[in-house]
Chain A
Amino acid sequence: MSLQQAIAQYLHDGQSVAMEGFTHLIPFAAGHEIIRQQKKNLHLIRMTPDLIYDQLIGMGCASELTFSWGGNPGVGSLHRLRDAVEKQWPQPLTLHEHSHAEMAVAYQAGASGMPCGFMKGYPATQLAEVNPAQIQPQQCPFTGQWLSAIAAIKPDVTILHAQQADADGNVLIRGIVGAAREAALAAKTVIVTVEQQVEKIDADMNAIVLPRWLIAAIAVVPGGAYPSYAQGHYPRDNAFYLAWDEIARDREKFLSWMQSHVLALRDHAELLQRLQVAA
């Protein structure tokens, strides 16, 4: 299935969507397709929003964000995210904020069919005060110890990028995997883009493989994680992450970049071609 078809068929306005991949394997191609199809009022979920969520937020696709660290890693702010929170541009963005550990627990609970998960450390941070709908103190029935209960995250749609899919549609993810597996198992619908389709996936016995029957749609999109990276295929374009700071700082500059690099292009292959020509 093409990525255009997958997004058109399985992701609808107003749904919650988790696009995971921790620094690595970030589904940029899928995010750009969502922007091209001008989806609205999405509830975006992701531990580290990163540049792709900066772009989705700045293009007005999102009304809510569940997250645990919203910056440009190693560079600074996500300026479009900040603009939405500080100045409500282009529209207000409701935040549901966690720590990484909380989100990991929330995805695990979602994947396990549990209403919530538990962890230590309730009194330590003020996150519970600003997110009471998802973080509550709870006493252990056996020891009396105070814990944090974290509401499960169950995305309508989870979108991942991975290295390989085999002919049957089993998907291999390797390298830094973040909470990709948990986010997939927590979702009602899973869409995956992969670097390549192979006869037989190159997986060790304990590798992270998503079996074909968990996945609604697979699209082969080489370079689909660029400017993040795909271990074994291409490295992270750190220079792009540094350059994004300047592009995203200004609303007009941002809109013009999105127009020429996303909206005006047919797909991710065209973007890669364009950036390589420009380089």
Chain B
Amino acid sequence: MKKNIPMAIVFVLGVAFIIQFFIPSRPSQVAFNTMIEWDLIIYVFASVIAVDSLVRHHILKISRKSRGWGYSLVYLGAAVFMILAAVFSGTREGSFYMKVFNYALAPMQATMFAILAFYMASASYRAFRAKSTEATMLLISAFIVMLGLIPQGAAIWSGLPKLSEWLMLVPNMAAKRGITFGIGLGITATSLKIILGIERNWMGGH
């Protein structure tokens, strides 16, 4: 019963929404949009469970004095601080809460994003080492593409930008489309397996 009811719901709704995909009429669109909106109800309950798990995790770390428990203390302190800031100053533009958000959280997010540049440099170094024939081909292709995108490339040889464009639009695009076909079929097959009850891992196994 515990598994049959969810499976029945998934089957009925799965088939219903496959049919819905082919019906453009207004009742069909309304039904689809209403179901999508129901997500919000699930999200509210799931958020309570999620926040509970997060707080529990950090309290446990602090109480056990696990490695890095100080970070957990900082986290819980910051969370309580932000909640109090939101309660007492409000969340409007110019409030204390928004100032902390704009001048502390946003720069931290931007910093994390900026670190990507360094990671990209180290990853490129590893990717472009000509250890094999394939890696050498990758290195040469990348060199042509990068050179073709800057004015110096055209100055060296006028055909370089066109060669760069061809590499991106023909061999690169062909590989991307091949992968996209596979992904499309994979998505359809996984959906079908779930709708037909063949794949039951999402319910915690067979």
Q: Do A and B come from one complex?
A: no
